[in-house]
Amino acid sequence: MDALGIDIGGSGIKGAPVDVRAGELSAERLRVVTPRPAEPGPVADAVAGIVRHFGWTGPVGVTFPGVVVDGVVRTAANMHEAWVGVDAGALFGGATVLNDADAAGTAEMTYGKGRGQRGVVLMLTFGTGIGSALFVDGVLVPNTELGHLKLHGADAEHRASDRAREEHDLSWPDWAARVEEYLRHVEMLFTPSLIVIGGGVSKKADKFLPHIHLDTPVIPAALRNQAGIIGAARSAVHGE
């Protein structure tokens, strides 16, 4: 069955129809720039534009980069604060809405590197922020917000996200050192059996993963930055 998956990020909004059985895009994705300020109205217009572009009338799943409970946005660290309290499911015309990292992690557990992995598996996405998705025997614990763990008195995502790498003009080894410190902290707290690195930066894994040394295996996501779209579409069909 096909569903339309839409992934809302701090810089771009990406959508594509997805073959949910195979976990693959069934048409070329469309990307539009996230409106600034990223207020609910303009973002909803962009989402509606993507739905129209594909002439879509079937199920739609949408990711949001914040805490989402029953379709209602609770936090929006990298979007406009006007989102807090908004029923995004209703705003997006009855779409299924879930946290972006939870969507990406679910896709990775279903179709990618996490398939069949038992125990505690952690997916961490490095982009504008740091997103987290925690799985126990393949079951998601939704809305973990491990990007906001404090490191040196500041949100970890302000030091170690991909945006922090760009803003502070860090070399790959320097950024990798920050990521390693963050991963060690997370490892100490959760003792995962596997850490999967996702987000846009996962396609450049060869530049930073060789610099990261941890007891826990750390691997790049298989679905790269399509995981959010695929996970969103999947949740529109199967629920979380």
Distance, in Å, from the CA atom of 17 to the CA atom of 210, rounded to the nearest integer, reads 34
Q: How far is the CB of 13 from ligand BGC (least distance, A)?
A: 13
Which of residues 54 and 140 has its CB atom nearest to ligand BGC in the complex? 140
Contact 73, 85 (CB under 8 A): yes
Residue type, 213: H
CB–CB of 145/228 below 8 Å? no
Mode of pairing for the β-strands spanning 120-126 and 130-136: antiparallel
For the bound state, the minimum distance from the C-beta of residue 124 to ligand BGC, rounded and expressed in Å, comes to 9
Distance CA(155)–CA(77), nearest Å, equals 11
Residues near ligand BGC (CB under 6 A): 65-67, 75, 77-78, 99-101, 125, 127-129, 131, 145, 147, 157
Between residues 83 and 111, which has the closer beta carbon with respect to ligand BGC?
83
- Closest listed residue to residue 223, CA positions, set 9, 1, 24: 24
Q: How far apart are CA 17 and CA 27, in angstroms?
A: 6
Give min distance, CB of 25 to ligand BGC, in A.
21
For ligand BGC, give the closer residue by CB, 17 or 65.
65
| CB closer to ligand BGC out of 9 and 23 | 9
Query: Whose Cβ is closer to ligand BGC: residue 2's or residue 91's?
Result: 91
Is residue 147 within 8 A of residue 155, CB to CB? The reply is yes
Give min distance, CB of 155 to ligand BGC, in A.
8
CB of 55 to ligand BGC, least distance (A): 29
Residue among 231, 233, 28, 202 nearest 111 (CA): 231
From the CB of 190, what's the least distance to ligand BGC, in Å? Answer: 17
Q: Which of 8, 20, 94, 4 is nearest to 56 (CA)?
A: 4
By Cβ distance, which residue is nearest to ligand BGC? Answer: 129
Q: Minimum Å distance from CB 240 to ligand BGC?
A: 14
- Closer residue to ligand BGC, CB minimum distance, 18 or 101: 101
Selection from 174, 196, 183, 195 nearest residue 149 by Cα: 183
Interhelix angle 227-238/100-111, nearest 10 degrees: 90
Q: Which is nearer to ligand BGC, 4 or 133 (CB)?
A: 133
What are 5's two structure tokens? 């998956």
